[in-house]
């Protein structure tokens, strides 16, 4: 018997060879095919070992078969299926920079068809390496005599099958433990498919996705139109009539939304004292907008996000629904749910073009899939920006570069447009490299708190540069700006370190103060308006969409919104936070405790039992809004509710590829800024002090005579 056949007959050697080959090719794919963002030695170790645990478990299943031939073919089937899964993801990732999900495979026939039709174009010469173990296995099978098993006797196999399975389980548990150390709550707070693959592997991700899809499908399958009745009644009764004074004030204008990462309300008008006793305004530009006569601003505006953080803020502000009690709605439901979101509504009602801009990968928070469900015409993610060298930090392109580099795409959009810009530089843990430093850091014993103010100042400067550009192009005067803080930046654990900086006593800090710190800025800036005001009634992100639509002159009476128009006289000033806390005009409810909003004093014992129960009933009414929203989301009930004024969209119409070609050949391109500028880019009008740009500039641009007039006309 030849040496190769001798090895093949030894099941231990063969099994080990197959495991090693499959492990190596998977690890190679991680390194050269997928952009997983691996940093630090621990993440590299996890990436190295994550194919092994579940791989050994899967392959060991074949060892339990009693029939020799069946054992061989079962192992071949597992190897072939695992390889096909890996290679399919490689091909899909090359085209879409994302991983395959059940929703794509089962429900997106057009995408799958496009993938199959373009397979040859996506294949590479080295792809044969991903099939080498399959080829080796088939060759060895061919060498074995007909009817002979590639394994030894049942006794030889059974003695080691259980041990092999146990080894795989132990390695998987170890992998999970390391992943929890590096990224706590990875599976309960999932925000990027890349993270699951990076920490737990492509096979684990597929199994997890199948489980989540099945769970969601079961919930949705139990739903029908009858579940909508109570929610429809609530939404109709909850709607606040628009204020005729403001209705249509911004009709026909472009909408520019800026999600201000981790910006909290206490930063408004805040001056930081440096180590020399001198004070520095942290966000002077945002302050100027907040206090402008051209702005409606809100001083008691709360973020209402949960574990979905920034993505929850997008759900809240663009659908007037809440995120989920656990996990991210974008990640869990964004690929399949029906949404009545701002982009789709504005396209149906006023023929708006829509685009989202984000200097991170589209898979982060599952934005690519969710934006398709929202009806975004265009999505410019990391694929459309240069993130090389020192241009990016952990969460994406630096804000100054992000706004500047977005001009290339913004100027191509037909008007009117709805655009959203997601900033990232002011993100925990608030790092800023030396070349962008200069603003004083706070003087506390917590480095995260200290750096918080410097990155906020950087974000403020980035927004000012962007607005300066918009004014030069004429876009500023014809737009309405929606600016909001997406969620808290300083956690409850660190709030006592902030207390002295904002004039509070850390020793007196408690749950009421933590609730107060959930306030974020909200600014509606309307150039040319002179009726600006800072409103102090409690309000929240759930109210953004109906407020914006009424300002644009769009009725909302046939939509199932949980929020209300903030400018309406009938607005109900009670705000439910995702953790169950409720804020009203006079009181803050934390579990069953009641606090006075003016003094922060707990009042629970000062009410009679009847008064206390009446107040708690008010709290529960506010919480009911979240319950209705959760049912809408988890059961996907909006698929049963189609407003007559809303065009039903097909998410498969939005692929986010070849976007520039589409824009440059758009039938309404004559309304874009670049066409109004005789086809010349307006990027040269953008002024920035970003050192990453300044160091490379070798020219001084001077506008041609009459350029401003041509753009504005």
Tallying the residues shown for the chain, one arrives at 713
Sign of CA dihedral 52, 57, 62, 66: positive
Res 158: pLDDT: 58
Tokens of 634: 């988890």
Residue 232 to residues 501, 558, 571, 589, Cα–Cα distance (Å):
46, 10, 18, 27
**Each residue of 647-693: pLDDT tens digit?**
998 988 898 988 999 999 999 999 999 999 999 999 999 999 999 98
| 645 contact partners, CB below 8 Å, separation of at least 6 | 348, 349, 558
Of the ranges 196-200, 211-215, 596-600, which one carries the lowest mean pLDDT score?
A: 211-215
Percent of the chain with pLDDT over 70: 88
Query: What letters, b where the CB count within 10 A reaches 16 and e where it falls short, cover 91-111?
Result: bbbebbbbbbbbbbbeebeeb
Q: Ranked by mean pLDDT, which of 6-15, 529-538, 598-607 comes out on top?
A: 529-538
Res 159: pLDDT: 63
Separation CA 638–CA 408 (nearest Å): 36
Separation CA 536–CA 519 (nearest Å): 12
**Each residue of 362-409: pLDDT tens digit?**
888 889 999 999 999 999 999 999 999 999 998 899 999 999 999 999
Number of other residues whose CB lies within 10 A of the CB of residue 400: 25
Of the ranges 63-67, 203-207, 421-425, 615-619, which one carries the lowest mean pLDDT score?
A: 63-67
Backbone φ and ψ of 146, nearest 5°: -60, 130
Band the pLDDT of 116: cuts 50, 70, 90. Answer: very low
Separation CA 302–CA 355 (nearest Å): 26
Q: Is the pLDDT of residue 702 over 90?
A: no
Closest C-alpha to 301, from 559, 85, 81, 523? 523
| 166 contact partners, CB below 8 Å, separation of at least 6 | none
Per the DSSP assignment, residues forming a β-bridge with 353 are 417
Q: What is the distance of C-alpha 311 from the center of its chain? A: 4
Res 440: pLDDT: 94
Band the pLDDT of 166: cuts 50, 70, 90. Answer: confident
**Each residue of 420-474: pLDDT tens digit?**
999 999 998 899 999 999 999 999 999 889 999 999 999 999 999 999 999 999 9
Q: Strand (E) positions, 531-605?
A: 533-535, 539-540, 574-576, 582-584, 587-590, 593-596
Separation CA 631–CA 639 (nearest Å): 13
Mean per-residue pLDDT, 601-609: 90
Q: What angle do CA 641, 569, 643 make, to 5 degrees?
A: 15
Q: Is the pLDDT of residue 85 over 50?
A: yes
Across all residues in the chain, what is the average pLDDT? 87
Query: What letters, b where the CB count within 10 A reaches 16 and e where it falls short, cover 170-189?
Result: ebbeebbebbeebbeebbeb
């Amino acid at each position: 018997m030849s040496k190769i056949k001798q090895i093949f007959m030894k099941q231990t050697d063969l099994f080990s060879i197959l495991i090693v080959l499959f492990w190596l090719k998977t690890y190679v794919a991680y390194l050269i095919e997928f952009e997983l963002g691996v940093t630090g030695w621990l993440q590299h170790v996890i990436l190295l070992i994550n194919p092994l645990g579940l791989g050994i478990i899967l392959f060991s299943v074949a060892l339990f078969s009693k029939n020799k031939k069946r054992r061989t073919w079962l192992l071949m089937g597992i190897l072939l299926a695992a390889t096909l899964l890996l290679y399919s993801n490689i091909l899909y990732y090359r085209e879409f920079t994302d991983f395959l999900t059940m929703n794509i495979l089962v429900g997106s026939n057009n995408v799958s068809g496009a993938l199959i039709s373009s397979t040859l174009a996506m294949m590479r010469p080295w792809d044969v390496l991903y099939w080498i173990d399959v080829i080796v296995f088939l060759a060895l099978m061919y060498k074995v005599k007909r009817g002979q098993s590639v394994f030894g006797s049942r006794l030889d196999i059974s003695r080691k099958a259980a041990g092999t399975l146990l080894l795989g389980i132990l390695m998987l548990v170890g992998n999970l433990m390391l992943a929890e150390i590096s990224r706590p709550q990875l599976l309960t707070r999932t925000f990027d498919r890349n993270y699951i693959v990076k920490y737990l592997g492509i096979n684990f991700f597929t199994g997890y996705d199948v489980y989540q899809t099945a769970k969601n499908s079961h919930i949705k399958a139990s739903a029908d139109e009858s579940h909508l009745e109570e929610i429809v009644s609530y939404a109709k009764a909850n709607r606040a009539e628009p204020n005729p004074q403001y209705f249509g004030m911004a009709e026909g204008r472009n909408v520019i939304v800026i999600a201000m990462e981790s910006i909290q309300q206490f930063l408004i008008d805040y001056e930081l004292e440096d180590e020399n006793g001198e004070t520095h305004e942290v966000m002077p530009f945002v302050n100027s907008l907040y206090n402008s006569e051209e702005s409606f601003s809100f001083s008691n505006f709360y973020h209402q996000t949960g574990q979905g953080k920034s993505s929850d803020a997008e759900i809240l502000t663009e659908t007037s629904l809440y995120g989920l009690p656990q996990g991210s709605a974008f990640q869990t439901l964004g690929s399949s749910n029906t949404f009545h979101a701002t982009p789709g509504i504005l396209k149906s009602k006023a023929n708006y073009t829509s685009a989202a801009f984000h200097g991170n990968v589209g898979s982060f928070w599952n934005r690519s899939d969710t934006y398709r469900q929202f009806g975004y015409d265009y999505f410019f993610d990391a694929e459309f920006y240069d993130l090389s060298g020192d241009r990016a930090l952990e969460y994406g392109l630096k804000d100054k570069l992000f706004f500047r580099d977005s001009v290339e795409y913004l100027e191509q959009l037909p008007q009117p447009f709805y655009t959203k810009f997601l900033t990232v530089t002011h993100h925990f843990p608030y790092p800023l490299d030396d070349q962008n430093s200069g603003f004083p850091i706070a003087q506390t014993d917590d480095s995260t708190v200290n750096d918080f103010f410097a990155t906020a100042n950087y974000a403020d400067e980035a927004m000012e540069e962007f607005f300066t550009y918009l004014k030069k192009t004429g876009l500023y005067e014809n737009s309405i700006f929606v600016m909001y803080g997406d969620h808290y930046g300083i956690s409850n654990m660190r709030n006592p370190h902030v207390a002295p900086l904002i004039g509070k006593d850390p020793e007196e800090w408690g749950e009421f103060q933590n609730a107060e710190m959930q306030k974020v800025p909200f600014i509606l800036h309307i150039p040319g308006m002179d009726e600006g005001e800072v409103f102090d009634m409690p309000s929240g992100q759930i109210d953004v969409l109906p407020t914006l639509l009424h300002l644009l002159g769009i009725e909302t009476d046939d939509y199932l919104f949980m929020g209300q128009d903030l400018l309406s006289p009938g607005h109900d000033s009670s705000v439910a936070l995702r953790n169950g806390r409720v804020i009203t005009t006079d009181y803050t409810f934390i579990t069953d405790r009641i606090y006075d909003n003016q003094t922060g004093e707990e009042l629970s014992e000062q009410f009679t039992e009847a008064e206390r129960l009446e107040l708690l009933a008010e709290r529960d009414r506010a919480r009911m809004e979240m319950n209705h929203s959760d049912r809408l989301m988890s059961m996907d009930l909006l698929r049963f509710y189609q407003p007559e004024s809303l065009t039903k969209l097909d998410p498969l119409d939005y692929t986010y590829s070849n976007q520039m070609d589409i824009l440059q050949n758009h039938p309404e391109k004559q309304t874009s800024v670049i066409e109004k500028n005789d086809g010349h880019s307006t990027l040269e009008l953008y002024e920035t002090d970003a050192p990453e740009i300044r160091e490379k500039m070798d020219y001084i641009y001077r506008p041609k005579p009459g350029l401003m007039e041509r753009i504005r006309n």
